[in-house]
Structure 1
């Protein structure tokens, strides 16, 4: 009985994620067709290439998005998995259909270049981020960058930037230098919004603290922040002294308060801070402090 319920729950989650990918794709299509494209501003990646191809050869944008992304979907299937490839097909097909359906929708902003890039980038990034958060991609250039990063001594983000430089050079042949610059700005804004949508505004951070007063530090963190912490043995590479290293995971809103606690108890504490994409399981919950 439990297995049947679990299967139903898994199936419902897959359907829900598929719906969210479709919604994300239509939001991205709306940003393209009502803000960016009517004002001669493009996107990066495969979508940017498709926009330029559509302008040059007078072909439907949706058709080009679907066709150019095909090899990248195959790449995603081979490198990442079947479910990712399926959701990406769903997302890219929805993006293609969305651009066709919204092609004659009037522009919601005209003339103001700053507003166009900001609003267009936010709408586009929100749609793409929603799709990525639910296991699908709307643009194949990210998959290519992941594959190349395994073959070349560069990170994925560096390769995405490098590949998009050529995309924006290509964009400049149709939309001019100003259009290419505005496209790059819109793409940058969209990438930041994607990051926020994927990880959430609250986010988490890990603090690793080496202090001469570990017990007092942990007790104060527990009393004033409602957070627990863990100890780990650490040894000084130069002094060979033995320390207790404290590890504490908090949300971003608590960062300033934790820094105040550290500074108050031990100004000379050695502190490293890391961004955390996701926290699951264990006992990561905030206790009441009042």
Structure 2
């Protein structure tokens, strides 16, 4: 157990270190020299740096410190300590590593600055670290008001970009929104990976054939719910018992599954939903860190 724990700790630290280096590259190589912003506390730090010319390495630590303390109460002390170490590491990276300025082209800065920032934050998240405390603030606020965490984060970012638009001009704010979008999409890709899972529910009169194909051809595990199909407007009182099939596939397998179901029953009702995390069962996937 100790050896396994030590191995996981080393891997987590490597993820966090790589994430810090990528974030530092995004900030000093793209965003800071061109007065661009991101969302969250990082975006707030960049805005304060641009308006008051405070050192970015100091501003990032000071801006995140109250949220790190809050994380100790809202999440747990271990997460707060790891987040504090990650923020300190990012500040040291920004202070002492001489990243070159890559480009001054606004479109390239907004896109690739966001991409490298997203890679950095995503890698840190895979290691269990956080490089931006805005999620903690949203979690704390969400327990006191009726908004979701996503809505709170969106509101915080809207305020940041509005201030940027007033103080630094609308074009800069718009390019920064593009940066934030690129970063958020990249974070999702890094954390979830290309094998993002989808839950698929199939309601069909040919459920026996579909079950056999899913298990024997695709090699998938399935779960069966007992239900009834029918209840149409012209024949509301007519229904038949059926097996409702549920399975989980990767995004890359989804099209093949739909083709198989359509060949067996063109009238089958199929709907999918994205699954953010999976564990156990017959799924094969690398462990999350």
Give TM-score scaled by structure 1 length: 0.90
1:116 paired residue number: 109
Instruction: Tell me the equivalent position of 1:32.
Output: 27
Pick which of 165-174 and 252-261 moved more.
165-174
Q: Counterpart in 1 of 2:165? A: 172
In the other structure, the counterpart of 1:98 is: 93
Question: Greater CA deviation, 263-272 or 220-229?
Answer: 220-229
- Which piece of structure 1 moves more, 173-182 or 160-169? 173-182
Q: Which consecutive residues of structure 1, in runs of 5 or more, have no partner in the other structure? A: 1-5
Counterpart position of 1:226: 219
Distance 1:7 1:105 in 2: 38
Inter-partner Cα distance in structure 2 for 1:71 and 1:282: 40
Which residue of the partner structure matches residue 3 of structure 1? none
Question: Could you list the per-position Cα deviations for residues 96-138 of structure 1 after superposition, in whole angstroms to 9, with x for gaps in the alignment?
Answer: 1112124x5331112x222111111100000001111211111
Q: Secondary structure at the match of 2:100?
A: coil
**CA deviation after TM superposition for structure 1 residue 71, in Å:** 0.8
- Measured after TM superposition, the shift of residue 236 of structure 1 is 5.4
Residue 150 of structure 2 is matched in structure 1 by 157
| Correspondences of 1:48-87 after superposition (within 5 Å) | 48-87=43-82
The answer to whether 1:184 aligns with 2:177 is yes
For residue 234 of structure 2, what is the aligned residue in structure 1?
A: none
Question: What's the secondary structure of 1:151's corresponding residue?
Answer: coil
Name the SS of the counterpart of 1:253 in structure 2. coil
Residue in structure 1 matched with residue 5 of structure 2 by the alignment: 10
Q: 1:232-268 CA distances to partner (integer Å, 9 max, x unpaired)?
A: 2124595564321111111111111111111111122
Q: Normalised by the size of structure 2, how large is the TM-score?
A: 0.90
Counterpart CA distance in 2 for 1:36 and 1:276 is 33
Distance 1:165 1:185, change over 3 A: same
Contact kept? 1:210, 1:246, Cα under 8 Å: yes
Per the alignment, do residues 256 and 22 of structure 1 end up closer, same or farther by CA in structure 2, a change over 3 Å counting? same
Find the counterpart in structure 1 of residue 271 from structure 2: 272
Q: Which residue of 2 aligns with 1:214?
A: 207
Residues 1:45 and 2:44 aligned together: no
When the two chains are superposed, the root-mean-square deviation of aligned CA atoms in Å is 1.9
Write out the 4+ residue segments of structure 1 that deviate beyond 6 Å after TM superposition: none
Secondary structure of 1:90 counterpart: helix
| 1:285 Cα deviation after fit | 4.5
